[in-house]
A and B are shown apart, each in its own frame.
Chain A
Amino acid sequence: MLGHPSHKTPAPGQPILRWNTRTHSIAGIEAELARIWSSVSLETEGDDGEPERRVAPRSSVMNLVVIAGRSEIGERIAAIVEGLTGRHPSRTLVVSQADPDGPAWLDAQVQAHCMLPRDGAAETCAELVYVTAGGQAGQHLAGLVAPLLIHDLPVTIWWPGEPNLDSPATADLLDLADRVLVDGSAWSGDGLASLVAMSRLPRRFKVEVSDFAMLRQSRWREAIASTFDRPAMLPFLGGIREITVMYAARAGSDGRANAIKPLYHVAWLASRLRMTCVNPLVGEQAPWSGYRAELRQGRRRIDVVLRPEESASPPGTTLSVRLRAERRRDRLTVAVTAQAEGVTVLATLNGEAMPERRFLGARRREGELLAETIEGAATDRISSSALAMAGSIIGADSGPATVMTRANA
């Protein structure tokens, strides 16, 4: 339906499309957005055919800008955002680029999605604008996005694909943003080159960076932390000697896979335990050898090993995190291993196994991660310091754009 509100009464918790219209200019989008909320008849039709519920006005907690790249990604993202309407109503702009070498053009679909939080409550509504820009129009993202933002609300930019963080157009866009969301585990190759650029963002712009790859590790962190909750185990955090992370790679390959998740495990531990990087991450030359780095905590050196392992899991998935720690004559090993529905922790103290613990938790979907990011603190110190440490471990502090291998180091 173009330009007219739907009158159906939605079931609680189910988003319903209340407005859908199309336009071909920024001014047109602005006009349509204004028209949705100035419409006189935002009422729903009751069982007896009489209007019975007034639709609540727009409620927005933020501007969400999704740089979809391709339109099919945009559709997937839109479905996620619609599901969050009731919980985190936002003005969402899904921007796709097309035909970069052609003439400049713009096509936009303006929608209002509403949700009934519960029976008897007023609906909450949010706007979703799909913008597809062709030619030069698609290259100037900031110019496209800036006029459509609701002022005084935070701006989150979500990059579901691989961002080109070094381009001037991206820099203009990041100037508008308060937070950037990425998924490092979806980046091509080992992902470390993009991570170098991303780890520098907080210094270049006033943005908070959140990576779904890091958020997905919550259950792993809970499992690792639990080992050291016992007072007798806590001092071993000052005596870690080795951190080894095994990650999945495809059979028949040379073992190369996205290394972002395994690196984040190390970065989180290192940042929490105030380690510093002595020798940044170096890729081993031989196939299936992975990476090595060296950290320092006090006077102790800590060996870091990231090693691929043949697995049917998606490449880059963490298979296990192993810690070896020493304190006086005592030796502690901790192995956290991925299971079908969670992780298992097995610790041994001087060779004697401690009771095994399992932590359940299914893999979280993008919608849940997005909700968690929105609900989280504006400044997430833990993620920020882990990200900075990841940058330090791959040598982003000192300038290289790629992680070296033994051959070219």
Chain B
Amino acid sequence: MAKAPAKTKAPVHAPKRAPAKAPPTAPLKTPPKASPKPPLQPHPSHHPAGGGQMGEADETMVPAVAADALSIRDMRLARDGHRKRRAAPARNPLREGLRLERVPDPHTMVIFGATGDLSHRKVFPALAQLWRTNLLPADWMLVAVGRRPYDDDSFREEIGRSLDQWSRVPLEPEAERQFLERIVYHRGDFADDAAFDGLTKRLIEIDHAHGMPGNYLFYLATQPSAFGTIVGQLGRSGLDHERHGAGWRRIVIEKPFGRDLDSAKRLNREVGKVFRESQVYRIDHYLGKETVRNLLVFRFSNGIFEPLWNRRYVDHVQITVAESIGVEERGAFYEETGATRDVLQNHLLQLVSLVAMEPPATFDADALRDEKVKVLRAIDPFTRSSVEQNVVRGQYGPGWVAAQPVKGYREEDDVDPLSETETYIAARLQVDDWRWSGVPFYLRTGKRLPKRASEIAIQFSGVPHRLFADTVTDPQPNLLAIRIQPDEGILLRFGSKVPGLGMEIRTVNMDFTYGSAFSVDAPDAYETLILDSMLGDASLFTRADEVEAAWSIASPILDAWIDEPAPTLPNYAAGTWGPEAADALIERDGRRWRRI
């Protein structure tokens, strides 16, 4: 054996340390003395887990905006949200390259609305899958909060039955037993102070019994009307307070985030009074879908597409979210919602922002969301006249879907027989920025359409010069279609010579399907998103300013419709692709909806 050298000449690298101070940024302008707004006082309990990062230095990070133009909430958002430039936290070098999914810190999850349909169909099955695959910490507990009279055992039995019905992959009996053992039921009314005092006591007991550090994840799976009450109660009970150095508190809120711009702002304000923006995780489950996440990978990990992804090469973009089902048992809900609030304001605009965004500098939550917000802000706001020109609403009448006769919307249960609620909306948007100026984005979503299909189609411009002028058929422009569901995949259409002596061109498809390429079940969107919230990764959650920017696009449409007489409804038969006016909307520009 060779002797070890007495002195090693290899360079020695000490692990990198976090910078002691945040980089200097523009100072906050001094508010005028006459300002009625109180000065900003950082709440002592609102220090981030790292500690010591939210002092004086952070005050200087608020951008130079006249302070009297800012509400306390605005200033809090500015301080906590996207505009802030925090010192990059030191990274754990042992984390690099770990192949297994990271396991969240030990914590207790609290689900409000635990007896509801969403919890049973989506949340509990997702949690059970995470448990089954060892992605939940071994020290994990769940407190289910609801009004119904269950005890721990009867609620566990109820969840067991739901898992049998809704689990993506059946649980092994032992895994199911272990999972259910971790669930306790806490009965209480959301407006009842005593119920929250009891909840606080119970959480502390769980911490003591299991040696947990006091990390809580609150999940609001209730009606939106209860959001404000629950958040207020959590604040009153002090359950929002993050203890210095340990004990994070996060809140997950289900959509809808308001029903118009004003109510969204009001809700954000109520949440913002109690939780910092960095503690809030607003779920739009579309963002957790594997194909939607792949959109980012497709755009930013393939060098050949991004150079073409702009007004120079793209003629227009079509985004379709089509459902073949009607309102089912949710007639009352849908009467209050409609297609604009249910799909356009959230899912469709999220897809627009992912398609149109600039590459973020880093793949962290705020960098990603900053770019998405920029897109939403670049969309031309609707006016009354532009709504009339660029938006079409529809409502389905009786018809045939999948060879079955189906009722019209007005004949559905809990629906007003003279309802003017839209079950279909098509819109033409302009993203007015350097990349997309002049490229129309056509969006459509509806119920009782011929099939369930969600798709993003990038229609490229035609060739500038028709070289093969003698061919019988014109080559069609290239198309890139990203199928979100079902049959997830990506299709590229291009022209090819037909074999033979002549020079005929036919359009052919290069079709990639997830199913055949990977043959593995993708996780459910709720599994992805719940795990991310436990890990503190907010990349796939919508931020307050993002929600408000999306409502700034949707609200003027709804406002215009209040004043304008509705078209004759119903205006499309169930099982067709929507009203004729929607075809006219796109055909007016010399284009047509894709046949999906």
A residues in contact (CB < 8 Å) with B: 56, 59, 86-87, 115, 117-118, 121-122, 124, 215, 218-219, 221-222, 224-226, 228-232, 234-235, 237-238, 269, 272-274, 276-280, 282, 294, 296-299, 342, 355-362, 372, 376, 380-383, 395, 398-400, 403-404, 408-409
| Interface: B43 (CB within 8 A) | no
Distance to closest chain B CB from A231 (angstroms): 5
Q: How distant is the Cα of A230 from the Cα of B248 in the complex, in angstroms?
A: 12
Asked whether B2 is an interface residue with its Cβ less than 8 Å from the other chain, the reply is: yes
A115 CB to nearest B CB, Å? 7
Instruction: Give complex CA distance A280, B8 in Å.
Output: 12
Nearest CB to that of A395 among chain B residues?
Answer: B1
B245 at the interface (CB under 8 A from A): yes
B89 is contacted by which of A122, A231, A399 (Cβ under 8 Å)? A231
Interface residue B41 (Cβ < 8 Å from any Cβ of A): no
- A122-B516, A124-B519 are known contacts. Are A222 and B100 too (CB-CB below 8 A)? yes
Interface contact B93-A273, CB-CB below 8 Å: yes
Interface stretch (choices B12-20, B181-189, B314-322, B323-331): B12-20
Which residue in B4, B106, B518 is a CB contact (below 8 Å) of A279? B4
Given contacts A87-B518, A359-B138, contact A234 B99 (CB under 8 A): no
Say whether A361 contacts B134, CB under 8 Å. Answer: yes
Contacts of A409 in B (CB 8 A): 1
Enumerate 6 A-B pairs (CB-CB under 8 Å) in ascending A order: A225-B94, A231-B18, A237-B94, A272-B96, A274-B12, A342-B138
Question: Among the listed A122, A273, A296, A361, which residue makes an inter-chain contact with B15, where contact means beta carbons less than 8 Å apart?
Answer: A273
Chain A residue numbers with a CB within 8 Å of B149 are none
A356 and B519 contacting across the interface, CB-CB below 8 Å: no
Q: Which residues in chain B, 1-29, are within 8 Å of chain A measured between CB atoms?
A: 1-2, 4, 8, 10, 12-15, 17-18
Look across to chain A and name the residue whose beta carbon is closest to the beta carbon of B95: A225
Expressed in whole angstroms, the Cα–Cα distance for A144 and B282 within the complex equals: 58
What is the bound-complex CA distance between A355 and B247, given in angstroms?
A: 12
Q: How far is the CB of A195 from chain B (nearest CB, A)?
A: 15
Q: Which residues of B contact A222 (CB under 8 A)?
A: 98, 100, 102-103
A393 CB → nearest B CB, Å? 11
Give Cα A404 to B2, complex, Å. 10
The interface residues of chain B lying within 8 Å CB-to-CB of A279 are 4
Pair B99/A218 contact, Cβ less than 8 Å: yes
Residue of A nearest to B49 (CB): A231
- Is B94 touching A269 in the complex (CB atoms < 8 A)? yes
Tell whether, in the assembled complex, residue A225 and residue B98 are in contact, meaning their CB atoms are under 8 Å apart: yes
Known: A124-B519, A231-B89, A280-B1. Contact between A238 and B98, CB under 8 A? no
* Chain B residue, CB-CB nearest to A237: B15
Against A, the Cβ 8 Å flags (1 = close, 0 = not) of B71-96 are 00000000000000000011011111
Min CB distance, A358 to chain B, in Å? 3
Interfacial chain A residues near B245, Cβ < 8 Å:
230-232
Q: Shortest distance in angstroms between A282's beta carbon and chain B's nearest beta carbon?
A: 8
The proximity string for B residues 295-318 relative to A, scoring 1 for CB distances below 8 Å and 0 otherwise, is 000000000000000000000000
Q: Tell me, rounded to whole Å, the shortest Cβ–Cβ distance linking B563 to chain A.
A: 48
User: If the complex has contacts A59-B516, A86-B519, A124-B516, are A355 and B212 also in contact, measured as CB distance less than 8 A?
Assistant: yes
CA distance A101 to B349 in the complex (A): 72
Name the contact of A359 in the complex, choosing from B2, B17, B96, B103 (C-beta under 8 A). B103
Assuming the contacts A218-B100, A355-B106, asked whether A280 and B94 have C-beta atoms less than 8 A apart, the reply is no
Question: A124-B519, A231-B51, A358-B138 are known contacts. Are A221 and B92 too (CB-CB below 8 A)?
Answer: no
Q: Cβ of B212: which chain A residues have Cβ within 8 Å of it?
A: 355
Contact of B213 with A by CB under 8 A = yes
Question: Which of A86, A231, A362, A382 is the one whose CB lies under 8 Å from B97?
Answer: A382
A335 to chain B, nearest CB (A): 16
Asked if residues B134 and A382 are in contact (CB atoms below 8 Å), the reply is: no
Known contacts A298-B12, A398-B2; 7 further A-B pairs (Cβ under 8 A): A115-B519, A222-B98, A225-B92, A230-B245, A231-B90, A361-B134, A400-B1
Q: How far is the CA of A294 from the CA of B5 in the complex (A)?
A: 12
Would you call B516 and A121 a contact (CB within 8 A)? yes
Q: Is the CB of B100 within 8 A of A117?
A: no
- Docked CA distance A297–B516 (Å): 48
For the complex of A and B, list the 4 residue pairs with the smallest distance between their C-beta atoms, beginning with the closest.
A382-B97, A358-B138, A225-B94, A86-B519
> What is the bound-complex CA distance between A299 and B2, given in angstroms?
23
List, in ascending order, chain B residues with CB within 8 A of A234's CB: 90, 92
In the assembled complex, B520 has its CB within 8 A of some CB on chain A: yes
Cα–Cα, bound, A367→B209 (Å): 39
Q: Given A237, A273, A342, which contacts B134 in the complex, CB threshold below 8 Å?
A: A342
- Name the residue on B nearest A380 (C-beta): B97
Q: Give the distance in Å from the alpha carbon of A279 to the alpha carbon of B13 in the complex.
A: 18
Contact of B2 among A225, A296, A395 (CB under 8 A): A395
B491 → A minimal CB distance (Å): 16
Whether A238 lies near B8 (C-beta < 8 A) is: no
Interface positions of B from 135 to 166, Cβ below 8 Å from A: 137-139
Q: Given A231-B51, A272-B93, do A56 and B516 touch, yes or no (CB 8 Å)?
A: yes
Q: Is B198 at the interface (CB under 8 A from chain A)?
A: no
Q: Is the CB of B93 within 8 A of A237?
A: yes
B14: chain A residues within 8 A (beta carbon) = 238, 274, 297-298
Expressed in whole angstroms, the Cα–Cα distance for A381 and B93 within the complex equals 13
Chain A residues within 8 Å of B102, by CB? 222
Q: Are A276 and B516 interface neighbours, CB within 8 A? A: no
A263 to B491, CA, bound (A): 48
* B138–A399 CB distance below 8 A: no
Q: Does B500 contact A (CB under 8 A)?
A: no
For A228, A231, A398, A400, which residue has the most chain B Cβ atoms within 10 angstroms? A231
User: Nearest Cβ in chain A — how far from B16, in angstroms?
Assistant: 10
Question: Would you call B211 an interface residue if the criterion is a C-beta within 8 Å of the partner chain's C-beta atoms?
Answer: yes
Closest chain B residue to A13 by CB distance? B519
Would you give the shortest CB distance from B452 to chain A, in whole angstroms? 14
Q: Is B523 an interface residue (CB 8 A)?
A: no
Q: Could you say which residues of chain B place their CB within 8 Å of the CB of A231? A: 18, 49-51, 89-90, 245
Docked Cα-Cα span, A218 to B49, in Å, equals 27
Q: How far is the CA of A115 from the CA of B212 in the complex (A)?
A: 46
Contacts of B4 on A, CB cut-off 8 Å? Answer: 277-280, 294
B92/A228 in contact, CB under 8 A: yes
Instruction: Provide the bound-state CA to CA distance between A282 and B3, in Å.
Output: 11
Q: Is A381 in contact with B106, judged by CB distance below 8 angstroms?
A: no
Q: Are A360 and B516 in contact (CB under 8 A)?
A: no
> Closest A-chain residue to B7, C-beta based?
A278
In the complex formed, the residue of B with least CB distance to A343 is B138
| Contact among B8, B92, B213, B516 for A355, CB-based, below 8 A | B213
**B515 interface residue (CB < 8 Å to A):** yes
Contacts of B95 in A (CB 8 A): 225, 229
Say how far A23's CB is from chain B's closest CB, in angstroms. Answer: 29
Query: Given A273-B15, A297-B12, A400-B1, do A221 and B94 touch, yes or no (CB 8 Å)?
Result: yes
Q: Give the nearest-CB partner of B514 in chain A.
A: A117
Q: How far apart sit A138 and B249, CA to CA, in the bound complex (Å)? A: 64
The contact of A382 among B1, B2, B96, B100, by CB within 8 Å, is: B96
Q: How far is the CB of B218 from chain A (nearest CB, A)?
A: 21
Partner of B138, one of A117, A124, A360, A381: A360
B1 contacts which chain A residues (CB < 8 A)?
A: 280, 282, 395, 398, 400, 403-404, 408-409
Find chain B residues with CB under 8 A from A269 CB: 94
Q: Which residue of chain A has the shortest Cβ distance to B9 in the bound complex?
A: A276
In the complex, are the beta carbons of B211 and A224 less than 8 A apart?
Answer: no
CA distance A215 to B98 in the complex (A): 10
A-contact 0/1 string along B195-239, CB 8 Å cutoff = 000000000000000011100000000000000000000000000
Q: How far is the CA of A277 from the CA of B7 in the complex (A)?
A: 10
Chain A residues positioned under 8 Å from B2 (CB to CB): 395, 398-400
Q: Give every chain A residue within 8 A of B18 (Cβ-Cβ).
A: 231
